[in-house]
Amino acid sequence: MIREIDGARFVDMMLSAANHLSNQRQEVDNLNVFPVPDGDTGTNMSLTMRAAAAELPGVRDKGVGSVTKALANATLRGARGNSGVIFSQLMRGLYKALKEKNVCDASDLAKAFRAASDNAYRAVMKPTEGTILTVARALAEAAEKYAPEVEDMEQLLTLVVDEGNKALDYTPEQLPALKQAGVVDAGGKGLMCVVEGALHTLRTGEIIQKNEQDEAPAPVMQKSVEAADIKFRYCTEFLINKARKDVNVPPFKATIGKYGDSMVVVDDEEIIKVHIHTNEPNLVIGEALKLGELTNIKIDNMKIQHENRIIDAPAKQEEESEIPQEMKKYGFISVAVGDGIVQLFRDLGVDTIIEGGQTMNPSTEDILNAVEALHAENVFIFPNNKNVILSAEQAANLTKKKVTVIPTRSVAQAMTCMLCYDEDMEPEELAGEMNEAMAGVKTGQVTYAVRDTSFEDKTIKEGDILGLVGGKIEIVNDDVRSNLEQIAAQMVDEDTSVITLFYGSEVTEEDAKVVAQALEESYPECDVLLHCGGQPIYYYIISAE
């Protein structure tokens, strides 16, 4: 009979839990009812738990309180995706209950389960039943029910696991989407993998070994753009002070659009902001002069900049580490992937790009490190993915810097926000402007289904082409172009003036131009801007504003 758990046994239980979750990662991922390639629940929870496992050997000879502290701190920083953040809050609650304990008995364990559940519920603004939260509460209720009667920790945890699995099996009755898809909640399943892994060690004294081939892949940073891949050499930016308020901007856009790519033209009341990559900046400037006087002209040779970054990077890093950088008023961080999208963000003034998003949700620590490295009084973060927002907010809470998370769900929203940037604004005013601008951007995506499922009364097969509007699956068919045209029809209305299209790494420039031309013909009253985003996963990202 085991009446108490000490630090060494607890470490072994948690290592076993981490390995069991890693081994079951794909099974948990497959429970996700949303069938798009995503930073799935099993992968995110496994990566979060892996961060904790790395810290545990160092506290093996210490008490339970030290072990739970290491768990809480490591998962807090290592949290990836919404499920990882919620799991980190469960570990934080565990630490709150056990931080003064050297060993843990049945009564302590019940208090720990309750504290974990309560802490996770408090961390979520709108708790939903039928999720990991429901399973966590069931574990707490079972532990409180049986702890007064059962001294043996193995027997107690066995009873708790049984009740947790019953709650997990009931989740489809609480969430219609789960019932329609015929699955249980993925986050709840991940949590049960953790508890079952811990129970295995308590029961056998052995640690579950990790199947290396099933290990969750760590996010991979995208490779840099090769200099030879830079088609248009000069990044050209300037402002046009309009000669007249009624100058005709659309023909200007159409003309300079022939001279390059990555074009962004923003027509304000008195000025026009222009950004374009081109080999003929003289022609672009010549067209601009027809509309008014030019100011803030900046022309950078991107090929030379790229070569200098590669050649001088080690020397620059050493030099920058020795010379204090000037603290500026604002700094911007964006999560993004795709060479073209990353370059656009840099051109728009984003200081730090965390390369990630779908399938590569950055951790809280990734975002926190970016915040701490930025020499700015006020830091703005654009998550650009619903599954990254909680990690960004958690990072903001871990720093002493003034951090504002703009809850962008797409790169298109973040780019619109950056066009609002005015250094003379106060932080609260700028945040308000950005949130308002973000709300005015409709975003659509064309991707593919990674699994068979039934979702919102739609029967989806693996490989189907999916059209999403505002994150919701609207179109299911087998053709990328028709899918895009159908979601565009849902997005564009009488208030739309600009349609922006980013084509992904699997789409050729020729095909993208054909699609853009079709959109121009369908919506002649709108400006259609085409960019090579280079993003994976999504054939197209489209925005309407």
Quote the pLDDT of residue 464.
92
- pLDDT computed for residue 358 by the predictor: 62
Q: Which helix (H) or strand (E) holds 481?
A: helix 480-491
Distances (CA, A) of 415 to 157, 347, 385, 492: 50, 10, 14, 19
Answer positive or negative: Cα dihedral of 313, 315, 321, 327: negative
Distance CA 405, CA 266 (A): 24
Report yes or no: 540 and 445 within 8 Å, Cβ to Cβ: yes
**Residue 385 CB: number of other CB atoms within 10 A?**
26
**What stretches of 407-522 adopt beta strand conformation (E)?**
442-448, 453-455, 458-460, 465-469, 472-477, 498-503
Q: At what angle do helices 81-98 and 132-146 cross, to 10 degrees?
A: 20
Instruction: Give the list of residues 6+ apart from residue 308 with CB closer than 8 angstroms, or none.
Output: none
| Cα 353 to Cα 355: distance, rounded to the nearest angstrom | 6
| Per-residue pLDDT, 521 | 93
Distance CA 97, CA 147 (A): 15
Q: Which two tokens stand for residue 69?
A: 């502290």
From residue 295, give the alpha-carbon distance in Å to each of 148, 155, 165, 179, 210. 76, 76, 66, 60, 60
Distance between CA 87 and CA 52 in Å, rounded?
Answer: 11
pLDDT tens digits for 310-324?
A: 444 444 444 444 555
- The 8-class DSSP code of residue 461 comes to -
What pLDDT does residue 2 have? 92
| Residues lower than pLDDT 70 in the chain | 37-39, 212-230, 262, 264, 266, 268-269, 302-325, 357-359
The amino acid present at 11, given as its one-letter code, is: V
Cα distance between residue 75 and residue 86, in whole Å: 10
pLDDT of residue 516: 93
* Closest C-alpha to 216, from 394, 18, 384: 18
Beta strands at 472-477 and 465-469: parallel, antiparallel or unpaired? antiparallel
Q: Is 455 helix (H, G, I), strand (E, B) or coil?
A: strand
Q: Distance between terminal CA atoms of the chain?
A: 66
d(CA 18, CA 50) in angstroms, rounded, equals 6
pLDDT, tens only, 2-23: 999 999 999 999 999 999 999 9
